Amino acid sequence: DADVTQTPRNRITKTGKRIMLECSQTKGHDRMYWYRQDPGLGLRLIYYSFDVKDINKGEISDGYSVSRQAQAKFSLSLESAIPNQTALYFCATSDSGQGLYTQYFGPGTRLLVL
Amino acid sequence: RKEVEQDPGPFNVPEGATVAFNCTYSNSASQSFFWYRQDCRKEPKLLMSVYSSGNEDGRFTAQLNRASQYISLLIRDSKLSDSATYLCVVNINSQFYFGTGTSLTVIP
């Protein structure tokens, strides 16, 4: 089974709709992240959370909100979707130990906003 | 100014060739460094961490130059399966910053 899962894997929605992307992990990591990826722009951080009570805005948080329901779950919401939120969304986790801690990514959610 | 900059390529090389990618970072407080590999429409996966003294993993060698603030990745004896996008990643205060990636195609 995958360590980091995302649902749904693909989603088509209309402008103005509210949608939620969900992420779950079995790695036991404290830290979770949401990114979006657009052609030519690389991965950009939307929100991140270092534990259940910690939520932080990333580079491009406008138009998004998140919820850290448990250590293993981190959801991303688009309150009112717009076409320029069409992108590939990745959830990631990392541990918080010392040294070179790395990120592990979910398989991604492809979102199309019409 | 972007935290991490990479030449997007594409690099098209024949099988067996040696290819090198460079990446520059702007923040001298950057703490840790990585190369990730991303196959088309898939999630990024860690290729290797980059240590100050440089490190090697099989055909892959990573180097870090803190004075000049750049990171390199060398791939020797390229295989068809090396075709992918290579992402340079820098960690600053527990946040990860990604380059836009360098595209590599290995040609038979």
φ/ψ of residue A84, rounded to 5: -75, 5
Residue A99 has a pLDDT of: 56
Instruction: Using an 8 Å CB-CB cutoff, list residues of chain B that contact chain A.
Output: 8, 32, 34, 41-46, 49, 51, 87, 89, 94-96, 98-101
CA atoms within 13 A on the CB side of A43: 31
Note the pLDDT of residue A100: 59
B79 by Cβ neighbours in 10 Å (0-12 / 13-18 / 19+) ranks as exposed
User: Is A61 an 8 Å CB contact of chain B?
Assistant: no
Q: Write out pLDDT tens, residues A2-34.
A: 699 999 999 999 999 999 999 999 999 999 999
Type of residue numbered B16: G
Q: In the predicted model, what is the mean pLDDT of residues B50-68?
A: 92
B49 to A108: CB separation less than 8 angstroms, yes or no: no
Say which residues have a Cβ less than 8 Å from residue B57's Cβ, sequence separation at least 6. Answer: B48
Residue-level pLDDT at A98: 58
Give the C-alpha distances (Å, rounded to integers) separating B54 from A24, A65, A94.
34, 39, 23
Mean pLDDT of B81-104: 92
pLDDT at A73: 97
* pLDDT at A42 (0 to 100): 85
Q: What pLDDT is attached to residue B8?
A: 87
Mean pLDDT of chain B: 92
Mean pLDDT, residues B43-64: 92
Indicate the residue type of B44: P
Euclidean distance between CA atoms B24 and A3, whole angstroms: 31
* Chain A residues with CB-CB distance to B98 below 8 A: 35, 42-44
**Residues in chain A where the model's pLDDT stays below 70:** 1-2, 97-100
Nearest C-alpha of chain B: how many angstroms from A50? 9
pLDDT of the residue at B13: 97
Alpha-carbon span A15 to A92, nearest angstrom: 26
- Which of B5, B96, B103 best tests the A interface by mutation, with the highest count of A CBs <10 A? B96
Q: What was the pLDDT predicted at B69? A: 93
Q: Give the whole-angstrom CA distance, residue A83 versus residue B80.
A: 36
Distances in Å between the Cα of A101 and the Cα atoms of A72, A91, B18, B60, B81 are: 18, 16, 29, 20, 26
Verify whether the Cβ–Cβ distance B49 to A90 is below 8 Å: no
Q: What is the pLDDT of residue A60?
A: 94
Instruction: Single out the residue of B49, B47, B55 nearest to residue B33, CA to CA.
Output: B49
Rounded Cα–Cα distance for residues A55 and B4 (Å): 24
Partnered with residue A76 across adjacent β-strands are A21, A66
What are the tens digits of pLDDT across the range B7-53?
888 999 999 999 999 999 998 888 889 999 999 989 999 999 998 88
Tell me which chain B residues have a C-beta less than 8 angstroms from the C-beta of A104. Answer: 46
How many whole angstroms separate alpha carbon B14 and alpha carbon B74? 15
State the pLDDT at residue A77. Answer: 98
Nearest-neighbour CA in chain A from B30: distance (Å): 12
More confident residue, A40 or B56: B56
